[in-house]
Structure 1
C-alpha cells in the first residue's frame, strides 16, 4: 500500500481524539459471540474497538494496522481497561506483511478499503492465517465502483478499493473451506448514523475445514 494511504489515515486519526466509536463492529459481535475464545488476528484494527471487545471476552489478539497513530490510541485504551497483556499491537502494512500461516482461530477484517498492490494476495494471506477449524470474517461496504463514498469525517475511499464477499470467497481453496455466508446485510443503524454511510455491508463468513 502506498505511503500516501498511510499518511492520509494518520492525518485522519490526528484530526480527532477518537475517529471511531470504540465499540465493536456489529458483524463481529454477531459472528464471534458464539465462538470459543482462542487466538484472533484483527487485520486493519484501527483504534482497536474490535480487538478490545475480543480481548474482554477472553481472546488473545494480534491487532495489525499501518497507522502508528491508531495503534498508539488502541494500546492506550487496552492499558486503561487492563487488557494490555491480551493484545499485541503490530505496526505492519497488510499490502506487504504476511501473517503466520494456520495460527489464528479467528481472522477478522472490516472495511479494508484501500488501494492494494494485489488485493487477492492480501486476502489469500489472511485466509492462510486461519487455523483448521477456525473462522474467517471479512466485511466491506457494498458499493459499486461508480458510487462516491465519503465518511462523515471526510475520508473518501479511492477508486478500486471496494470488494464483495463473493470476490473474497473466490480466493479460498474449496477443498479447505466451507463458506457459511457470502451475502449482503443491513448496516448497524448506529454506525450508519455516526459515519453518514447507510449502505449495506457485504459479509463473508467461512470456516477452515483442514
Structure 2
C-alpha cells in the first residue's frame, strides 16, 4: 500500500503539474511524438497500401513485409539506432515508425482490396478514371478498415513511446526511467498510469471515429456511383 500511496502523492503534488519537466509538458511531448510518428508512417505506408489494394498486386509482399517488421524487437532496434545516430529523438522516431507501418499498411491494403469488384466495375462503366475510383469509391468504402489500422497503430505507438525516454529526455517515459534509475517506484508507477490513461482516452476517441467512418462510408460511395447500371 505504501507504493500506491506514494504514487498518488507524487501525482497530486502541485509541483508535478507546472514548470520544466512537469506532467503536462511530458504529456504534450508524448502526444507530439506519437502524432509525428503516425504522420511519417502514414505517408509511407498508406499510399503504398492503397496502390497495392487497388491493383491487387503485391499481397504476398505486404504479408511478408508486415510480418517481418512486427517481428523486430522495439527495444533492440531502438538500441541499435541509438548507437548509430546517438542520443536524441531520431532513434525513437525511427523505431516507432517501424512499429506503426505494419498496421497502417495492412489496414490500407485490406480496406481497398475488400471493396466489391462489381462496385469498382460500375464506377469504371460511368467513366471514372482510376484516380477517381480510388478517391470517390474505394477510399470511402475502405475508410472503416483504414481507420482501424490507424487506430491500432496509434495505440501501439502511444504505449511504446515510453521507450523514447531511453535515449532522449522526452515523453511520459521519462518518469519511468528516472524512477528506475533512482530506485523510486512512485514516478515509475505514476508514469505508467499516465500512459495507461492516455491510451484509454485515445481508444475512446478513436473508437468513436471508427464507428462514424462506418456510417459514412457506403452512402458516400453510392453517391459517387449514382446512375450506374
TM superposition score normalised by structure 1: 0.23
**Highest CA radius of gyration, 1 or 2?**
2
TM superposition score normalised by structure 2: 0.21
Which structure's residues are more often strand, by fraction? 1
Which structure's residues are more often helix, by fraction? 2
Looking at both structures, which has the greater relative contact order when contacts are Cα pairs under 8 Å and sequence separation is at least 6?
2
